[in-house]
Amino acid sequence: MRQLSIALLLALAPSAAFADGEMPQMDFSNPLTLDQVFWMAVIVVVLYLLLSRWGLPQMGKVLENRAAVIARDLAAARAAKQEADRAVALLTATLASARANAQAEVAKAVADAKAEATAKAATLNAALDAKLAEAEVRINAARNAAMAAIKPVAAEAAGSMLVKLTGSAPAHDELIRRVDDALAMRKAA
Amino acid sequence: MAAPTIDALGQFSLTTGLGPIGRAVNFTNSNEAMLAAAVIIVALFAFGLKARALVPGRVQALVEVLYEFVHNMCVDTIGEEGKRFFPLVFTIFSFILLGNLIGLFPYFFAFTSHIAVTLALALFVFLFSTAVGFYVHGFGFLKFFVPAGVPVWLLPLLVPIEIISYLSRPVSLSVRLFANMTAGHVMWEVFAGFMLILTAGFGVFGAVASIIPLGLNVALAALELLVALLQAYVFAILTCLYLHDAVHMH
């Protein structure tokens, strides 16, 4: 309200000072003062029609088009980024699975090799065990043979020693039995 | 030779323009400036719309800046309904802006320094916004003059004040523009005439001394450029404000 009263005062003060017709703006006796308003109305209406029907919608279209292009480009960029992200994820997954496959392969190879080595060692051990057993059998046979062979020699030697000591030959069966006992005792000892 | 005098008001006097045709239909020199303003606006659009480039050139950028400036002003002040009034506000704003700017050039008529012109524009805005108010709210628009939340016994005082305040809108709107433009041009003319008087009165010394009013006029030119832009903006934003009141009632 105060602004308004000041504005009114400002408006009225110069108009009072120039009311004698010195101020062309206040000279309403001049027909041109109001006729300019008529022509202004014509000019402004034509300007309004030109701007509202042609200029402003066209310019609005240009701005809309730009906004649409920017939005489209942004959407494309976003889609490209998503695509890239997907590719990266795929790559990561592929790498991970490849690594896992490779590790499984390596583990399998190691296990296979181990199993093969174990099997080979087992067959080798079996063969060695068989040879060992065979050798033991042979050794036992040889020992038995040697034991069997030593008996008549021992009996003969004991017989000869008895003959030399006593001068009489012992009974053959008795001698054999005694030698057997002696050998058995040694074996037991 | 007669001593020079300061004729500060002669620049506002109306004559007929456009030769004998203009004389026949009372087409004035101020109408010539209006025509120039309108032609410049339309030409700006014609050149600005030539390329319709994604990356605008100078003229297109200028028109785009104007477009978006006024568009934002409408939408920010009036709201979404402001889009419907945008062509009108843009026409008024660009017309006054170009009128103010053209008036800054020597020998060009500043039509916004005529109260008949500004009052006609302000009355149109006033009547139009009032019509919009009644169109949108019917007779409920009269409630606009009853301030909300005041004691009933104050209403007999406040309602007339509101009505007077509303009715004085076209006066303040028109006088603000008219007074600003007139004052600036009168001051220009006074300082320029002062230079002539100094030179005529004091010879070489006066001519040297007149560098002071010349400097003042140069400074005034910057000020007047600001005023020309600002007053066009003020007229447009007040138009938006009145339309906002008409649409929203508060």
Per-residue pLDDT reduced to its tens digit, B154-187? 889 999 999 999 999 999 999 999 999 999 999 9
Whether residue A12 is predicted with pLDDT greater than 80 in this model: the reply is no
pLDDT at A3: 54
pLDDT at B149: 85
Q: What is the pLDDT of residues A155-175, one digit of tens each?
A: 888 888 888 888 777 777 888
Joined together, the tokens standing for residue A138 give 């042979």
| CA angle (A10, A11, A15) in 5-degree steps | 115
Cβ within 8 Å, pair A33-B182: no
Please name the member of A30, A47, A63 whose beta carbon is closest to the beta carbon of B14: A30
Q: What is the pLDDT of residues A45-94, one digit of tens each?
A: 999 999 999 999 999 999 999 999 999 999 999 999 999 999 999 999 99
Distance from CA of B49 to the nearest CA of A (A): 7
Chain A contacts in chain B segment 3-42 (CB below 8 A): 9-10, 12-16, 25-28, 30-31, 34-35, 38, 41-42
CB B19 within 8 A of CB B9: no
Cβ within 8 Å, pair B116-A3: no
- Which secondary-structure segment (H or E) carries A65? helix A56-166
Mean pLDDT computed over every residue of chain A: 86
Nearest to A151 by CA among A187, A110, A118: A187
Band (A14; pLDDT cuts 50, 70, 90): very low
Residue numbers in A near B10 (CB within 8 A): 24
Top-confidence residue, A42 or A188: A42
Residue numbers in A near B12 (CB within 8 A): 23-25
Distance from CA of A76 to the nearest CA of B (A): 17
Cβ within 8 Å, pair B27-A30: no
Whether residue A6 is predicted with pLDDT greater than 70 in this model: the reply is no
- Rounded to two decimals, the ipTM of the complex is 0.93
Whether residue A147 is predicted with pLDDT greater than 50 in this model: the reply is yes
Task: List the single residue in A with minimal CA-CA distance to B186.
Answer: A23
Start-end of H helices in B12-154: 19-25, 29-51, 58-78, 82-103, 115-137
CB pairs under 8 A between A and B: 141
Residue numbers in B near A44 (CB within 8 A): 34, 38, 91-92, 95
Q: b or e along B183-193 (b: 16 or more beta carbons within 10 Å of the residue's beta carbon)? A: ebbbbbbbbbb
Termini Cα distance of chain A: 143
Low-confidence ranges of chain B (pLDDT < 70): 1-3
Whether residue A15 is predicted with pLDDT greater than 70 in this model: the reply is no
Residue numbers in B near A60 (CB within 8 A): 67
Cβ within 8 Å, pair B117-A37: yes
Q: What are phi and psi of B177, to 5 degrees?
A: -70, -50
* Rounded Cα gap, residues B229 and B181, in angstroms: 11
Contacts of A96 (CB under 8 A, 6+ apart): none
Whether residue A19 is predicted with pLDDT greater than 50 in this model: the reply is no
Nearest to B192 by CA among B161, B155, B172, B217: B217
Q: How far is CA A146 from CA A18, A96, A132, A149, A153, in A?
A: 164, 72, 20, 5, 11
Whether residue A139 is predicted with pLDDT greater than 80 in this model: the reply is yes
Cβ within 8 Å, pair A56-B120: no
Whether residue A96 is predicted with pLDDT greater than 50 in this model: the reply is yes
* Rounded Cα gap, residues B50 and B52, in angstroms: 6
Joined together, the tokens standing for residue A112 give 């296979």
Band (A38; pLDDT cuts 50, 70, 90): very high
pLDDT at A68: 95
Top-confidence residue, A25 or A109: A109
Domain boundaries, chain A: 148-188
Q: b or e along A90-125 (b: 16 or more beta carbons within 10 Å of the residue's beta carbon)? A: eeeeeeeeeeeeeeeeeeeeeeeeeeeeeeeeeeee
Please name the member of A4, A22, A40 whose beta carbon is closest to the beta carbon of B9: A22
Band (A11; pLDDT cuts 50, 70, 90): very low
Task: List the single residue in B with minimal CA-CA distance to A28.
Answer: B116
Cβ within 8 Å, pair B45-A55: yes
Task: List the single residue in A with minimal CA-CA distance to B39.
Answer: A47
* Rounded Cα gap, residues B49 and B59, in angstroms: 9
pLDDT at B19: 86
Q: Any CB–CB contact under 8 A between B115 and chain A? A: yes
pLDDT at A18: 43
Distance from CA of A99 to the nearest CA of B (A): 50
